[in-house]
Amino acid sequence: MENSSPQFLNKFLISWRNSSITDFEKMISKEFKGREITPVGQLVDFGYEESIKGWEQGFHFVRENQAEWILNVLSTVALRKDEVLVVMSASMEIKGKSSDTSNLFFQTFKRDDEDTWQLVRSYIEAGISNAVLKTFRWETLHL
């Protein structure tokens, strides 16, 4: 990874953990493209506006239920000089109880000419059993 990408990833994860939609609006590219496979296998494609609405709903749920995000980075891969793929999982803990499932994210971040990193693509497998995810080797960031 280039020098600025770990700092950006830390900022991205802190903003996620803090459920900051204001930060996410700046960190997600207006040209963002996403694809999610729902727990029932439905394929959903979405862009920037739908992504922001989804994050707003998720962040509202976390605040309303006094939940906490559980974020784990599995791997980071430099795809190109200006692109990094981050593979991670996300779940929640609500009132001290961890969820049984997580979403598995493949997030591509791209650096522009001004050395600013933005999320440009996501592929998400939703509702994956945590027992299955435990078979991965984790690279955990302590924030």
Q: What is the CATH number of the domain that holds 26?
A: 3.10.450.50
Q: What is the helix (H) or strand (E) element at residue 129, kind and residue range? A: strand 117-129
pLDDT tens for 122-134 read 999 999 999 888 8
Which residues constitute the domain of residue 12? Answer: 4-133
Domain-embedded: residue 20: yes
One-letter amino acid for residue 20 of the chain: S
Q: What proportion of the chain, given as a percentage, has pLDDT over 70?
A: 91
- Dihedral sign for Cα atoms in the order 105, 55, 139, 114: positive
Domain-embedded: residue 138: no
Domain-embedded: residue 120: yes
Domains held by the chain: number: 1
Neighbours of 94 (CB within 10 A): 13
Domain-embedded: residue 119: yes
User: What pLDDT is attached to residue 132?
Assistant: 86
Neighbours of 124 (CB within 10 A): 20
Domain-embedded: residue 47: yes
Statement: residue 2 has pLDDT above 50: no
pLDDT tens for 61-110 read 999 999 999 999 988 988 998 999 999 999 999 998 999 999 999 999 99
Domain-embedded: residue 141: no
Q: What are phi and psi of 124, to 5 degrees?
A: -130, 125
Domain-embedded: residue 129: yes
Give the pTM.
Answer: 0.87
